[in-house]
Structure 1
Amino acid sequence: MYVLSTEEDITTRYPALDQMTDNPFHLWEDHSKLSSMLPLARGILSDDQFYIFFLFIFFTSQLISNCAIIANSLIIAVFIKLGFSEPSNISLTALAVCDFTLAVLFTWNNVCFWLTYHNVRVPFHGANVTFLTGGAQWTFLSSTVAWITAFISFERCLCILFPLKVRRLITPRGTFLAMLIIILLTFCPSFFTYIRYKFVWVFNPHLNISILNTIPVNSEFAILIEKISIVFFGLILPLLAFSIVLICTVLLVVQLRKISSWRMSVTSAKRQRVQPEENPAASSSAAEARISQKEERLIKMVVAIATIFIVSYIPTCIMLVCDVVFDDFNMFGVYRRLFIVSGYVISLGQPISGSVNILIYYRMASKFRSIFWRLVGLDRQKQKRHELG
């Protein structure tokens, strides 16, 4: 990290920093020096439209992000109470932890952009610093959520394909190790960003203070690492996880319908042949039916989670492809206004998905519902009302 104390040092070592505006949302059109370095912004959004869209999306996204933080905090607390003897509890808890972290990072990004937008005097450049302290991590953690969802969907597919062997294939210890491997392969590469960019202290002569900023490292190795990270970790891995979730969800829906129709036909045939009182084996078949119905509810819950993920992640996939295919569709291209607004709108899908999951658990899992009411303290009130009644 370099500490630059004079304006001469800035213009000599990092000339572009001396030309940057304090408010990046002005997009540099009114600054003649940097306008010669960046292409003129154009597209379907004017300055006024951009500001209106940004302010609306900012408040909407922050409201949704707050809901995601509260919802996933409750999910984590409930699963801790339930314990981790079931492999599904481990994977669903890992998903909630990632959704919670995403919401926190999203809030941090909003705060930094808001400080920059209003030119609040803080000792760091919010819009630039947030890229290394929240933006890059948020992008890679989204891929982690995608792969955890893919693992959960794949696990349910194994339960249908190999119902007698799944207990040996999917164990709590194996699920925990799988979560660690997914995090290491998808989130830890976010630290490669610090090879391509670094923090510097830059003296601002207008404010008469030094502020923390970021600059790119223009070495061949750093540029190569960035390209690999964008293509492999930023595009290929998320799209692969999305494909796995999509395929597994379709298989689950098809198999779920087959199992339901088969169970209905078998149950109807048994009722016609024998009465439950006359056959002692009827009780065991009823127990099996109850177990299968429990498994069916879990599969339905996974299908619901995967479906919400697919719907919310489709726009992200489209933007990832556009970012790679179109050179001008990025933060420094001619369509940067559209890129910023599109990125904010698309990023809403993640906190929305994280907020809705608690409703799915509450609706489809009786144990989760019971622990939830006990956790928020309303279960005792219900018991008192029942006793008084």
Structure 2
Amino acid sequence: MTEQTTDLYINASGSSAITLKTTSHPSFGTGSQLDKLMIYPIVPIMFFSNLGLITNSLNVAVFIKMGFKETTNISMLSLAVSDFLSCLLGLWTYLCLIPEFRNIPNLPFEPTEIASETGTALRPYVTRTGAFITAFITLERCLCVVLPMKVKRIITIPVTCVTMIVIYVITLLPYSVHPVFTTIGWKYYPHLNKTLIGAVPTNNKVAPIFLIIIRYLVGFIFLLLAIIIILVCTLFLVITLAKSLRWRNSMRKQTQLNASSGQTSSQKPSESRKENRLIKMVVVIATLFIVSHLPGTILIFVLPVAEDYAEKNVNDPFTILQISFIFAFELVNNSVNFFVYYLIGTKFRLAFRQMVGLKEKNST
């Protein structure tokens, strides 16, 4: 007979997570309510995780092919790496929740505990990396609009490279203190009568202090700062696009008048269209990020309430489903940027088609 309990908790970085603790050795293909329900979020999570691994691999390859003469390519490449890692961690985390995987004979580790330590605990830090890179990309586009003649002297290729490295270091560094809470080591499981690799609590007295610091630093401050930057810059870029559209309409009318009178225009509409396409692409990426992370962000902002809710609903499978679908919603953002780049970015589409041996149709 199988007895299975489920703990729902908010981890150190402020992101929701799920831990399944099996109190007796489960039979293969257990028919518990949780195992039956988990198939619903696991299917989209697995789909978008695998899709994200493919699309972000393509993103990395295409941006490397495009070269690094433009700062935007460096930022987009860094974002693709972050999204790839996020999808990889998501795939690993929920793979370990699949009953068939958990019940594989002779596994040298306890799947759900290892997934919690190496996947669930790490992924929020990687997500914050993507958030700050997205914020930097939107901020750069805003500077291109506000300071078009100076931005290339302010945001240079070395500055962009250093910024990407700093973002990765600042957002991932807090994870280095995770061993203060829990370490990975050999652990005896009485119900299995086995010693497996699992999560070993440290019982460190300073652990609660680190927990509070990291929770508010990564969970609140990092994410809140990134979202504010993305929101403000996206609104500014949307307004800029609207003004640009009105300007292009007026210039089109002016060009028609000049053509009828035999005059020529000194404007370069192709450059304007190129800049507008880039702004549009950034706006779409930023909007996708905000929308996909909105449910999880709300959960983090009501963290004390969420903790109380988790304690009261610790064995409620439907609570776990809610958290899982929030997780799946975030993975959508990590996996669809390739399609945004391809549909809007002319250079990206050309580089991709050349890479796979396709010819690009003539376009202006």
RMSD: 2.7
Distance 1:31 1:290, change over 3 A: closer
Distance 1:119 1:206 in 2: 14
Measured against aligned partners, the alpha-carbon deviations of 1:286-335 in whole angstroms (never above 9, x if no partner) come to xx2211110110000000111111110101101212333343234xx222
Q: 1:347 aligns with which of 289, 304, 327?
A: 327
| Residue aligning to 2:237 | 252
Whether 2:84 is the aligned partner of 1:63: answer no
1:221 Cα shift?
Answer: 1.8
Query: Secondary structure of the residue that 2:197 maps to in structure 1?
Result: strand
Aligned pairs for 1:265-344 (under 5 A) are: 265-273=250-258, 278-279=263-264, 282=265, 284-285=266-267, 288-330=268-310, 333-336=311-314, 337=316, 338-344=318-324
Distance 1:360 1:30 in 2: 42
Query: One-letter code of the match for 2:326?
Result: I
State the identity %: 35
Mapped contact 1:144–1:183 kept (Cα < 8 A): yes
| Residue aligning to 2:75 | 91
Mapped contact 1:90–1:175 kept (Cα < 8 A): yes
| Residue aligning to 2:176 | 191
Distance 1:29 1:159, change over 3 A: closer
Mapped contact 1:23–1:119 kept (Cα < 8 A): no
Mapped contact 2:4–2:22 kept (Cα < 8 A): no
Q: 1:103 aligns with which of 87, 106, 126?
A: 87
| Residue aligning to 1:174 | 159
Distance 2:245 2:202 in 1: 58
1:172 Cα shift?
Answer: 1.3
Distance 1:237 1:324, change over 3 A: farther
With structure 2 as the length reference, what TM-score do the two structures score?
0.85
Q: 1:141 aligns with which of 112, 126, 131?
A: 126
Distance 1:207 1:128 in 2: 15
1:267 Cα shift?
Answer: 4.1
Query: One-letter code of the match for 2:139?
Result: F
Distance 1:114 1:72 in 2: 25
Measured against aligned partners, the alpha-carbon deviations of 1:18-58 in whole angstroms (never above 9, x if no partner) come to xxx985549999969xxxxxxxxxxxxxx73x444311111
Q: 1:77 aligns with which of 54, 61, 75?
A: 61
Query: One-letter code of the match for 1:59?
Result: V
Distance 1:292 1:23, change over 3 A: same
Greater mean deviation of Cα atoms: 89-98 or 120-129: 120-129
| Residue aligning to 2:98 | 114
Aligned pairs for 1:235-250 (under 5 A) are: 235-250=220-235
Q: Which structure: larger Rg?
A: 1
Aligned pairs for 1:228-239 (under 5 A) are: 228-239=213-224
Distance 1:310 1:28 in 2: 30
Distance 2:283 2:345 in 1: 14
Give unpaired runs (5+ residues) of structure 2: 8-18, 25-31
Query: One-letter code of the match for 1:184?
Result: V
| Residue aligning to 1:364 | 344
Distance 1:271 1:354, change over 3 A: same
Query: One-letter code of the match for 2:44?
Result: T
Aligned pairs for 1:33-52 (under 5 A) are: 48=33, 50-52=34-36
Q: How many residues align?
A: 340
1:265 Cα shift?
Answer: 1.7
Query: Secondary structure of the residue that 2:307 maps to in structure 1?
Result: coil
